[in-house]
């Protein structure tokens, strides 16, 4: 597979003058695809549009992306599609001209290894040493500037540790290196506010909407690492893993709980209906 399109044409590479390479001047999404249909697509497209707006990029039309995701994933029962939008090819220098044509990249990857064991039994995580920088102009945006995530993920090698939680310089919990985080307290959900740093994932947004549908309160607020041991449940989410309950971090222990389990079920149902 690894089928890929650049601006709608089959291609394996991008121009050396593309600002995505030169400056990380672009945004992306990673989408699960079943039978050439992207799952959780409304949230993915909404986030892509918002992230493009944050950087002043023109967001590709939805029908174009759907068609291209369908093309790269054609014939695959299940796949992962990565959608990248960069500001395009320009001359040297940070300034860019008006009306620059953005670069649209759609790539299919094989589905990740099955992680239903992790989804059922939970995972061990660690706390990363790297602290995320506070940049309100980029907070929430899934931009191509991801060195903080790369450096945080490089802090450990032990394959038994499936994710690292990252905080900010003030010791607040923000996210995982590749996931968003939820805490449950007595059947109520809490997830970190991402207005200073972090990435707003499409799965996080879906979980917030599903909680609303179920009348489960979900608060978005600052969360301290010190709250974790008191939480009844802690779970991670992203578009590829779905939901992984956290069962251990340092000395703290949790059990996979009913809120994570309910959310997993609701996601499955929605995917079965729309995928």
Respond yes or no: is residue 175 known to be catalytic. Answer: yes
Measured from the Cβ of residue 157, the count of other Cβ atoms closer than 10 Å reads: 6
Report the nearest approach of a copy of itself to the CB of residue 38 (Å). 16
Q: Which of 53, 120, 134, 253 binds a copy of itself (CB under 8 A)?
A: 134
Cα dihedral: 7, 12, 17, 22 (round 10): 100
* Structural tokens at position 143: 């931009």
20 is an interface residue for a copy of itself by CB under 8 A: yes
Rounded to whole angstroms, the Cα distance separating 228 from 236 reads 13
Instruction: Give the binding-site size for a copy of itself (rule: CB under 8 A).
Output: 57
User: Is 103 known to be catalytic?
Assistant: no
160 counts as binding a copy of itself under rule CB under 8 A: no
Cβ–Cβ < 8 Å for 126, 156: yes
* Burial of residue 237, with CB atoms counted within 10 A of its CB: 0-12 exposed, 13-18 middle, 19 or more buried: buried
Whether 142 is catalytic is yes
Query: 178 vs 64, 149, 162, 201, 211, CA distance in Å?
Result: 27, 7, 10, 9, 22
4 is a contact residue toward a copy of itself (CB under 8 A): yes
Of 1, 7, 24, 225, the residue at the interface with a copy of itself (CB under 8 A) is 24
126 binds a copy of itself (CB under 8 A): no
Q: Which residues bind a copy of itself (CB under 8 A)?
A: 4, 6, 11-25, 28, 30, 55-56, 80, 82, 84, 87, 91-96, 105, 107, 109, 112, 130, 133-135, 137-138, 143-154, 169, 177-178, 197
């Amino acid at each position: 597979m690894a089928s890929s399109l650049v601006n709608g044409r089959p291609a394996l590479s991008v121009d050396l003058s593309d600002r995505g390479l030169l400056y990380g001047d672009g945004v992306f999404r990673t989408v699960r695809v079943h039978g050439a249909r992207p799952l959780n697509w409304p949230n993915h497209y909404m986030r892509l549009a918002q992230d493009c707006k944050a950087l002043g990029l023109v967001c590709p039309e939805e029908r174009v992306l759907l068609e291209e995701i369908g093309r790269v994933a054609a014939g695959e029962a299940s796949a992962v599609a990565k959608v990248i939008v960069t500001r395009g090819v320009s001359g040297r220098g940070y300034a860019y001209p008006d009306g620059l044509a953005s670069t649209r990249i759609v790539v299919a990857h094989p589905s990740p290894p099955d992680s239903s064991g992790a989804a059922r039994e939970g995972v061990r995580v660690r706390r990363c040493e790297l602290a995320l920088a506070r940049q309100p102009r980029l907070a929430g945006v899934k931009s191509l500037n991801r060195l903080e995530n790369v450096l945080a993920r490089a802090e450990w090698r032990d394959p038994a540790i499936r994710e690292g939680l990252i905080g900010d310089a003030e010791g607040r919990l923000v996210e995982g290196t590749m996931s968003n985080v939820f805490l449950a307290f007595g059947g109520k959900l809490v997830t970190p506010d991402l207005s200073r740093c972090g990435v707003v994932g499409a799965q996080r947004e879906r979980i917030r909407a599903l909680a609303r549908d179920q009348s489960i309160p979900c608060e978005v607020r600052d969360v301290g690492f010190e709250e974790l041991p008191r939480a009844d449940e802690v779970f991670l989410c992203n578009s590829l893993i779905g939901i992984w309950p956290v069962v251990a971090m340092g000395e703290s222990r949790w059990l996979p709980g009913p809120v994570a389990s309910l959310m997993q079920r609701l996601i499955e149902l929605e995917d079965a209906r729309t995928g």
